[in-house]
């Protein structure tokens, strides 16, 4: 079958906004042209489905859910693309933002949770390339974090997200902030190590929602933006808000804001949790962040 005539596969996480799962599935089946729907049944299922679809020759695979579903689909697509020969066409990623958090779709300027509007952009045939990154052997497209925010992700249950939405992360943060954080060390070749309690990593401006945390970031400049909290007190958060909303981070005493293409994060506790694209990753610090050997093609009108 000609790839151009193949229906576009959409991988749906039924747990995303699960109270409306049936209506979401119905809405997806009513789209025109009708997608080829694949429902996940458990963790990492989206990765296996996406890898199989990409290996079978689908030029575009769409993730329908939140950033967690997007990242699972990303892993599968990238595993298949990594096996392709130089010059061979890569499978592209499409996104239907239906989850609790949809940061990557905000970065791509997709029309919110407007399923038909997003589908129109996905089926327009317009593609663009963005930088793709790796944390050890895992891929990410939008953001990553080591320490505090990964701990918050780790302790925010699916039940809490279902009941409270984005507020569930705030509730987890209150508990995490009451503990002594691990000491993290960021090592960049040619520079003295930088020590902090939290390391936030951005491939785009947005982090944790519609907030432009990394005001200088671009997902096409070949660099990651790092925000390192030297401590974990009120001054760090005041400077964070001031830097994000007003005059940047250059004058901050308690934050380091740098751009680099490769670095390593270690911890004094042997290991620390890592999140990629807003979801807990199956790895811990020490972790090496570096460019992927190829870029990511995304469907975005």
Q: Label residue 147 by pLDDT band (50, 70, 90).
A: confident
Taking 70 as the threshold, does the pLDDT of residue 208 lie above it?
yes
> What was the pLDDT predicted at 251?
60
Return d(Cα 135, Cα 282) in angstroms, integer: 10
Return d(Cα 203, Cα 226) in angstroms, integer: 9
CB 124 within 8 A of CB 301: yes
Q: Label residue 262 by pLDDT band (50, 70, 90).
A: very high
Tokens of 94: 């499409």
* pLDDT per position as a tens digit, 30-73: 999 999 999 998 889 999 999 999 999 999 999 998 888 999 99
Helix (H) or strand (E) holding 114: none
Output the average pLDDT for the chain.
Answer: 84
> What was the pLDDT predicted at 1?
40
The structure tokens 């995490």 sit at: 176
Strand order of the sheet with strand 263-267?
138-140, 133-135, 287-291, 263-267, 184-187, 194-196
Helix (H) or strand (E) holding 45: helix 45-55
Helix (H) or strand (E) holding 288: strand 287-291
As beta bridge partners, residue 194 has 186
Q: Which tops the pLDDT comparison, 19 or 200?
A: 200
> What was the pLDDT predicted at 43?
84
Q: Which tops the pLDDT comparison, 114 or 287?
A: 287
For the ranges 38-47, 53-62, 133-142, 250-259, which has the lowest average pLDDT? Answer: 250-259
| Alpha helices, DSSP H, located in 123-266 | 148-155, 158-164, 167-176, 234-242
For the ranges 125-134, 141-150, 259-268, which has the lowest average pLDDT? Answer: 141-150
Taking 80 as the threshold, does the pLDDT of residue 187 lie above it?
yes
**Could you say which DSSP state residue 5 is in?**
G
* pLDDT per position as a tens digit, 149-169: 776 676 666 566 666 665 665
Number of separate helices (H) and strands (E) present in the chain: 9, 18
Q: Label residue 2 by pLDDT band (50, 70, 90).
A: very low
**Could you say which DSSP state residue 249 is in?**
S
The structure tokens 């000609």 sit at: 2
**Which domains, and CATH codes, for the chain?**
3-132 (3.40.50.10330), 140-293 (2.60.200.40)
Q: Which tops the pLDDT comparison, 49 or 15?
A: 49
Taking 70 as the threshold, does the pLDDT of residue 235 lie above it?
no
Average pLDDT over residues 221-245: 71
For the ranges 25-29, 59-63, 111-115, 182-186, which has the lowest average pLDDT? Answer: 111-115
Q: Which tops the pLDDT comparison, 195 or 175?
A: 195
- List, as own/partner pairs, every contact residues 236-244 make where C-beta atoms lie below 8 angstroms and the sequence separation is at least 24, other chains included: 240/213, 243/215, 244/211, 244/212, 244/213, 244/215
Q: Which tops the pLDDT comparison, 216 or 178?
A: 216
Tokens of 114: 């407007």
Average pLDDT over residues 128-137: 97
CA 133-66-290 angle, 5° bins: 10
CB 118 within 8 A of CB 93: no
């Amino acid at each position: 079958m000609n790839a151009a005539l193949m229906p576009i596969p959409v991988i749906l996480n039924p747990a995303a906004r699960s109270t409306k799962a049936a209506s979401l599935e119905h809405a997806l089946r009513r789209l025109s042209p009708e997608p080829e729907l694949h429902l996940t049944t458990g963790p990492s299922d989206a990765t296996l489905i996406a890898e199989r679809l990409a290996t079978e020759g689908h030029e575009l695979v769409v993730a329908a859910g939140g950033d967690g579903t997007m990242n699972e689909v990303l892993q599968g697509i990238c595993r298949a693309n990594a096996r392709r020969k130089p010059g061979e066409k890569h499978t592209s990623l499409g996104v239907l933002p239906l989850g609790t958090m949809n940061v990557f779709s905000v970065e791509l300027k997709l029309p919110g949770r407007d399923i038909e509007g997003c589908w129109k952009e996905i089926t327009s045939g317009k593609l663009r390339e963005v930088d793709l990154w790796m944390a050890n052997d895992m891929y990410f497209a939008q953001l990553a974090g080591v320490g505090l925010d990964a701990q918050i992700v780790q302790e925010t249950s699916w039940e809490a997200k279902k009941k409270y939405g984005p507020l569930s992360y705030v509730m987890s943060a209150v508990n995490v902030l009451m503990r002594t954080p691990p000491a993290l060390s960021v090592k960049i070749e040619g520079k003295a190590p930088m020590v902090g309690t939290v390391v936030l990593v951005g491939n785009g401006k947005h982090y944790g929602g519609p907030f432009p945390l990394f005001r200088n970031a671009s997902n096409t400049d070949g660099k990651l933006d790092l925000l390192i909290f030297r401590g974990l007190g009120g001054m760090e958060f005041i400077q964070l808000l001031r830097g994000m909303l007003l005059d940047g981070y250059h004058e901050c005493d308690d934050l380091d804001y740098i751009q680099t293409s490769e670095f390593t994060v270690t911890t004094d506790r042997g290991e620390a949790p890592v999140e990629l694209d807003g979801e807990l990753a199956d790895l811990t610090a020490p972790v090496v962040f570096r460019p992927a050997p190829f870029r990511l093609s995304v469907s975005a009108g």
